[in-house]
Structure 1
Amino acid sequence: MPENYSRGSLNAISYLSYYFVGALVSTLGIVLGPLCAAFHKDPSFIGQVFTLMNIGMFVPIMLGGLLMKKWGLQKPLAVAALLTLVISVALFAAPTLTMFSVAVAVIGACGGIFMTIGSYLVVRINPDEKSRSSSLIFTDFFFSLAGATLSFLLAWMFKLGASWMAMYAIMGALGVLMLLLVLRARFPSAEAQPHDARHADAAVAEPWGMSVWLICLALFLFLLAEPIFTMWTPGYLQSRFAMLPEQAALYTTVYWVAKAIGLFLNQFTVKWMKLRTFLLICTLVGMASVTLITNSANGTLILLACGAFGFFNSGLFSGLMSYGSLQVSRSSPTLISALLTCGTVGTLLFASVSSLVNGRFGLHGAVNAATVAYGLLLLTLLAAVLRSKAERLHQTAAAV
């Protein structure tokens, strides 16, 4: 029997979930300077504080499968949205370093809930391989849209003299919007119902296989490389090329705009190109681009490479999520949670790892940590494609 749920509202919730997390992660490089000035701390210290946000995000993602099975899909989203609003108001009432540390941890946890359930909703309402890949890529478009819009908006606001708290006023407003969407939506059950008992037994017994774990590692490396790049590139460009902050912000804005464009277009690309081919091409071009960005002495070439990196990097996260979910015949909340958990370990570690590298090797070393992580991502993806079961499983399913 078909389930009664509001597909339009669920898609909107998924889009806003990714926009929310994109707003948190993609603006770190922009908000870093105002935070350092406000609290009289160096960038390495504030980078370590942002580790609290990543820890907060990691915990609900790690427990996402259990969370959805126990409380369903609507209740955790509503609680996270309300909590975002409350903590944003509390931060305005007491804008201290201690309160900021608590706030970024709590808002990070809310973002983790949004991202876990938002990702599962897309997989849950799109069982077909091509529609799932296309929908996940379009959902990820909103992550990049947050980077493209908020990087520009915040750079402009800070230039006009706005406080760092402007960022968290935006997060509170997003929490209100999420709460309104969640309360009016009709949700499906947390688990897709198998057609019969035989399918149910197969879903329980089916092993994930090495390909799933390799894709988990690839997601980890991707979510280690990208935030290192976005966090340290503005400061690196200011240091190397004596740029003003708003000039350096242009480079990351170009990255996010190109990524948003790529995500919008790539939802169509994956409908006529094999997903594994799409992933390999994007990773190869991304590797070449990030190498240029972090090592070229030509500012114009770096700007062009930022655009290429954004465009070809665009479909990797959602493409890897889709490819991982297709390694089994029936995806579950536990599998989606495992893919996100392994990926989020990269987000959890990037601030600490890159801050340590910055302290030891300087800004050039910090941005090149992204290059190293991307090279490992390419090798891991090649191994995952060689061990993949997705093509065999879903060709068989299509034939049946």
Structure 2
Amino acid sequence: MNTEMSLKNKVILTLTCYLCYFYTANVILVTGAVMKPLSEYFDNSNIGFAFTFINVAMWFAIFIIGFLMIRFSIKLLLIIAVIIGVLSSLITYISPSMFTLKILLTCVGLTGGLFMAIASYMIVHIYNDHKVRAMNVIFTDFFFSFGGAIIPIFAAYLITQNYEWYTIYAILQITAIAILVLVIFSDFTILNRHSCESKKQASLNFSSWNFSLYCIAFAAFLFLLAQLTMTSYAQTYFQDILGWGTIDANKPLSYFWTAQCIGLFLSPLITRKIPLKFILPSFMVVSTICLCCIIYIPNIDIVLKAAIIFGLFNCYIYAGLLAYGTFQMENSPPTLITTILLFGTTGTALSTTTGAFINKYFGLVTVMHSVIFFYLISFILIVLAVIYSKESKTENLLGH
């Protein structure tokens, strides 16, 4: 019984993981709502460049967290992450300025990156059974999407009630406080034990990776590069190339995000019944076909239907890749999942630059062609990952 977590503790740790993803969505996706108030407050139309601090800080946090988890307890790291986020918001609330804004964005980026990486690692090591693990890893993404669905609306409401931008960021730290309470009352013994078992694998030793892991990592990179490029340029494509009005051009992405949220909510039912080695390639095929319909068929009714199906199937891929990567090693070290996360985060970070470069030199239509190309290469990599998988069979026998 010493090596088993009680059901209550397992539930608390799992809820902590969900809230970590919810917090990360809060601080990232509130950007659109606060951009205009920030521009007006500082009288600076180029305030959007300040949000680069969040992306860079998140990338750095994910880069170093694997090493930190080897040297420090997960409980301590979560507490420190909460302190960083809450303290920076408090300082900015007391003394709002461009300087403290940059500090705030850097700190919430660090906190969000730490939360997301630690939560992914925790989910992997809380659940041994592959189907239960996959279910929970994917379901964490539901909380990210859920945060993305409600936080912009919540922030917009606060703005209409004349709340300042720094007050909104302070309110968002309520989630961090909730995480702190859960962390204090949780037992992290088994997770720290996993860290101890993995110390000998602490470095990013790519030579220990099998071919499947390389395919998974690069598939994650290309998948997020493609998805974020598509969501960034799709509305402009529908308006400028297909000639749709503003309202119609907004509908496909709205339907897509709503369907993703629904798909992730239903993910526990899907992943309990269907193994990831089937979900990843088959769902990727459906997603790619729907994406082609969205881009190459100008009929709005077909596009909207394709956007719904696209969202329902597409939502499983990235989190599924994270989970499937952990199947390739027994007692996977902290650096494994954080490295796959790092590949995905790099794809996210490069999507804006890549899309802008292609658009500038080759045009908007080529941007959308490149999205299809990235999806196809990602699909090929996923198929290769499944074919060359070294998935541990023993973990399935360990139970929940």
Distance (whole Å) between structure 2 residues aligned to residue 152 and residue 248 of structure 1: 20
CA shift at 1:329, angstroms? Answer: 2.6
Of 272-281 and 108-117, the range deviating more from structure 2: 272-281
Contact 2:291 2:372 in 1 (8 A): yes
The answer to whether 1:11 aligns with 2:10 is no
- How many aligned positions are there? 390
TM-score of the superposed pair, with normalisation by structure 2: 0.82
Query: Is the alpha carbon distance of 1:15 and 1:368 closer, same or farther for their aligned partners in structure 2, counting shifts above 3 Å?
Result: farther
**CA offsets 1:343-389 (integer angstroms, 9 cap, x no match):** 22212322333344455556665566544432321122122122211
1:241 and 2:240 are equivalent in the alignment: no
Partner of 1:110: 111
Answer with 11-20 or 26-35: which moved more. Answer: 26-35
How big is the shift at 1:36?
6.3
Asked if the contact 1:60/1:113 (under 8 Å) is kept, the reply is yes
Q: For 2:199 and 2:112, locate their aligned partners in 1 and report how far apart those are by CA, in whole Å.
A: 32
Distance across 1 between alignment mates of 2:372 and 2:186? 42
Q: For residue 126 of structure 1, report the CA deviation from its aligned partner.
A: 0.3
What amino acid sits opposite 1:89 in the alignment?
A: L
Structure 2 equivalent of residue 126 of structure 1: 127
Sequence identity percentage: 29
The residue aligned with 1:329 is: 330
How much does 1:172 deviate? Answer: 2.6
| Residue in 2 that maps onto 1:171 | 172
> Aligned to 1:63, what secondary structure does the other structure show?
helix
| Partners of 2:99 and 2:72 in 1: CA distance | 31
* Aligned equivalent of 2:385: 384
Task: Kindly indicate whether residue 365 of structure 2 is the aligned counterpart of residue 353 of structure 1.
Answer: no
Tell me if the contact between 1:155 and 1:249 (Cα under 8 Å) persists in the aligned partners: no
Partner Cα distance (2:80, 2:86) in 1: 10
Cα 1:200–1:120, aligned 2, differ >3 Å: closer, same or farther?
Answer: closer
**Equivalent position of 1:394 in the other structure:** 393
The 2-side partners of 1:166 and 1:242 are apart by 36
Distance in 1 between the 2:167 and 2:357 partners? 28
Q: Is the 8 A contact 1:26 1:230 kept in 2?
A: no
Gaps of 5+ in 2: none
Contact 2:145-2:261 within 8 A present in 1 as well: yes
In the alignment, what sits opposite 1:293?
294
Structure 2 match to 1:279? 280
Distance 1:174-1:237 versus aligned 2 partners, 3 A rule? farther
Aligned partners of 2:193 and 2:94: how far apart in 1? 44
Provide the C-alpha distance between the structure 2 equivalents of 1:53 and 1:273, rounded to a whole number of angstroms: 36
* 1:241–1:134 Cα change, 3 Å: same
What is the CA–CA distance in structure 2 between the aligned matches of 1:289 and 1:170, rounded to whole Å? 39
Give the Å deviation of 1:339.
1.7
Q: In structure 2, what is the Cα distance between the partners aligned to 1:248 and 1:163? A: 31
Confirm or deny: 8 A CA contact 1:141 1:260 kept in the other structure. Answer: yes
CA contact (8 A) 2:221 2:346 kept: yes
Q: Does residue 67 of structure 1 match 2:64?
A: no
Seen in structure 2, the aligned counterparts of structure 1 residues 368 and 14 have a Cα distance that, compared at 3 Å, is farther
Residue 324 of structure 1 aligns with an amino acid whose one-letter code is: G
Q: Following the alignment from structure 1 to structure 2, what is the Cα–Cα distance between the partners of residues 64 and 238?
A: 42
User: Could you tell me whether the CA contact under 8 Å between 2:73 and 2:192 is conserved in 1?
Assistant: no
Name which of structure 1's ranges 90-99 and 214-223 shifts more when overlaid on structure 2.
90-99
| Cα separation, partners in 2 of 1:229 and 1:165, compared to 1, 3 Å | farther
Pick which of 29-38 and 100-109 moved more.
29-38
Distance, in Å, in 1 between the alignment partners of 2:168 and 2:250 is: 16
Contact 2:131/2:275, CA 8 A, preserved across alignment: no
Q: Is the 8 A contact 1:122 1:132 kept in 2?
A: yes
| Match in the other structure for 1:263 | 264
Query: CA distance change for structure 1 residues 175 and 357 in 2, over 3 Å: closer, same or farther?
Result: farther
Give the stretch that moved more between structures: 7-16 or 228-237: 228-237
C-alpha contact 1:28 1:230 (8 A) present in aligned 2: no
CA distance in 1, matches of 2:294, 2:45: 28
Cα drift, residue 133 of structure 1:
0.9
Equivalent-residue separation in structure 2 for 1:95 and 1:129 (angstroms):
47
Name the aligned partner's letter for residue 123 of structure 2: V
* SS class of match (1:18): helix
Counterpart for residue 136 of structure 2: 135
Structure-1 residue corresponding to 2:25 = 22
Residue by residue over 1:175-212, the C-alpha shift from the partner in whole angstroms, topping out at 9 and shown as x without a partner, is 23222322232223445459xx9x99999999321111
Tell me if structure 2 keeps the 8 A contact 1:190–1:333: no
Give the C-alpha shift of residue 152 in structure 1. Answer: 4.4
Most deviating of 125-134 and 344-353: 344-353
Give, in angstroms, the shift of residue 161 of structure 1: 7.9
Please show how residues 68-217 of structure 1 align to structure 2 within 5 Å.
68-93=69-94, 96-154=97-155, 168-192=169-193, 207-217=208-218
**Structure 1, unaligned stretches of length 5 or more?**
none
